[in-house]
Amino acid sequence: MQKSLVQRFLVSIAWTSAANWGIIAISLVQSILFARILEIETFGIFAFAYSIVAIAAAFGKFGSGGAFIYRSKHTENELEAAATLFSFKLILVALMATLLLVGTFLFAHEPNLRLALIVLTLSSSFNILFLHIPELILKRRVVHRRLSSIELIASLAAVIVSISWVLVQPTIWALLIGDLVKRAVFFAGFYLWRPIWKPQIKWHKETLKYYFTIGGKNFSATSLLTLIDRVDDLWVGTLFGSAALGIYSRAYRFATYPRQLIASAINKVLLGTYAELTEDKSQLTKAFFRVNAFLIRTGFFLGGLLSLIAPEFISIVLTDKWLPMLPVFRVMLVFTLLDPLKDSISRVFIAIGQPGVVFRARLIQISVLVLGLALFYRFTDLTTIGVAISVNLMLLTGITVLLYKIRSLLQFSLPQLFLAPSIALASSYAVSWLLISNLSTPNIVGTAIVKTLSFVSVYAGVLFLIEGRTIIKQITQSRQMAKTDQPDSESPQLETETL
């Protein structure tokens, strides 16, 4: 019997979470080792090149992910839709790669920057053309076991090769080689072992028109999102140099690890899940509320804890040469607290075929970001800190707009989403600071331990005090739904309460 959507969602979450935690652990080890060995400027050059290619890659994909996953008569035949999408991508990727490579040879005179742009352009083109479609097929089916396994193996292989390289030759190739290894592993996982899909060229006129129209709408939103994510790197690299961008990019990288730990796995599953619930507004509302209540609570916990122990973390793990990133790191953690909510709301609108809402929200965001960057640069002496503040203001603006729009579609309580974790965060932060101010710890490690234990115990205690009964109830219901083989319409009703 076919598994219910609840079962497939929970199984997918389990697999993506397991793979994601493994990937994060591997990535964290790699990031720490690289931070201790490589020069700060090397990270800045890589981040600058990566940002340029990432912006161009949005054109290469042209919003095709949402268009393919969205349930439509044009995508009912999955294989034919995939073949038409492959043909569509051939043209886009050829244009993208040509423009990037020509621009590289004309304008990139610094050797390491030129090398990074060439390698990343070729790798990104291969990914969009051959690896993106099999990934979309698995996500469309809300079946993530194989995808998660491949991701974990690819990350492990990339880290082994990258670390081996950096220990022998600490150059920018250490940052580039892992990307190539990942592409090779994904290709083997998608095509050599029980192939998911075989690339074919098919020109179905109506489907091509569908990809161009719906994909174009998604492209407007995704390209703006890419600009939102990358403009700050380009701004820092252009105005303040590679060293400043190296500090800024590493602060961002480590600040996003809490988000990756929980939210990344869930968000990979959400689009397909929301798409299957588009005809049942009640169940869509309940799924949206529960997922985001969980994301907010875990995000506040992980972001708050990392902000509290940031000085000790940087000194102990990354060495004192990275202490200049502390202010930016703490400011960027606000991004970690709220960005998963923005991504989740965006996926609802994409799943129901209204990407225009996301586009308009992101248009407002990019306007706020550019204005903030300009004002901080013109009227203050803040450099990367001003950029980080501008990013947070942009994020808060986007979330406010999206929450306003989603409330007209789904009925849920904002206080139930935010009040309890906000009280828990404020209480645990205050108690931890008071405790560390009045206790003398023998060393930096002792300080980190005291901060961690006090924060974790107070946050968990306050949250359980406010929502303990509801948390137990929701866990029980989730276990029951995971065991049942009933179709979704017969699954136990989800409560509208908070998490």
For residue 230, what pLDDT band results from cuts at 50, 70 and 90? very high
- Rg of the chain in Å (alpha carbons): 23
Q: Which of 29-38, 78-87, 178-187, 224-233 has the lowest mean pLDDT?
A: 78-87
Beta-carbon count within 10 A of 370 CB: 16
User: What is the mean predicted confidence (pLDDT) over 38-59?
Assistant: 94
pTM (predicted TM-score): 0.80
Residue 222 has a pLDDT of 76
- Other CB atoms closer than 10 Å to residue 279's CB: what's the count? 9
Least confident of 36-45, 79-88, 257-266, 450-459: 257-266
pLDDT digits (tens, 9 = 90+) for 429-486: 999 988 888 877 668 888 889 899 999 999 999 998 998 877 676 666 555 554 554 4
**Has residue 496 got a pLDDT over 50?**
no
pLDDT reported for residue 1: 39
Residue that wins the pLDDT comparison between 48 and 446: 48
Is a pLDDT exceeding 50 seen at residue 428?
yes
pLDDT at 267: 67
The predicted structure's pLDDT at residue 161: 95
Q: Is the pLDDT of residue 498 over 60?
A: no
CB 339 within 8 A of CB 262: no
Residues in the chain: 499
| Cα separation, 15 vs 121, whole angstroms | 30
Q: Of 136-150, 225-239, 289-303, which gets the smallest average pLDDT?
A: 136-150
Check residues 342 and 366 and name the one with the higher pLDDT: 366
Compute the average pLDDT of residues 261-284: 71
Average model confidence (pLDDT) across the chain: 83
pLDDT at residue 109 greater than cutoff 80: yes
Across 169-191, average pLDDT: 94
The listed range with the strongest mean pLDDT (60-64, 267-271, 305-309) is 305-309
| Torsion 118-119-124-126 (CA) sign | positive
Q: Give the C-alpha separation, 386 to 398, whole Å.
A: 19
CA pair distance 225, 439, nearest whole angstrom? 45
What value does the mean pLDDT take over residues 225-229?
A: 86
pLDDT digits (tens, 9 = 90+) for 354-412: 777 888 888 999 999 999 999 999 999 889 999 999 999 999 999 999 988 888 888 88
pLDDT of residue 7: 61
Residue 327's pLDDT is 93
With left for phi above 0 and alpha for psi between -120 and 50, is residue 62 left, alpha or beta? left
CB 7 within 8 A of CB 478: no
Question: Which has more confidence, 466 or 69?
Answer: 466
Residue 488: the pLDDT is: 42
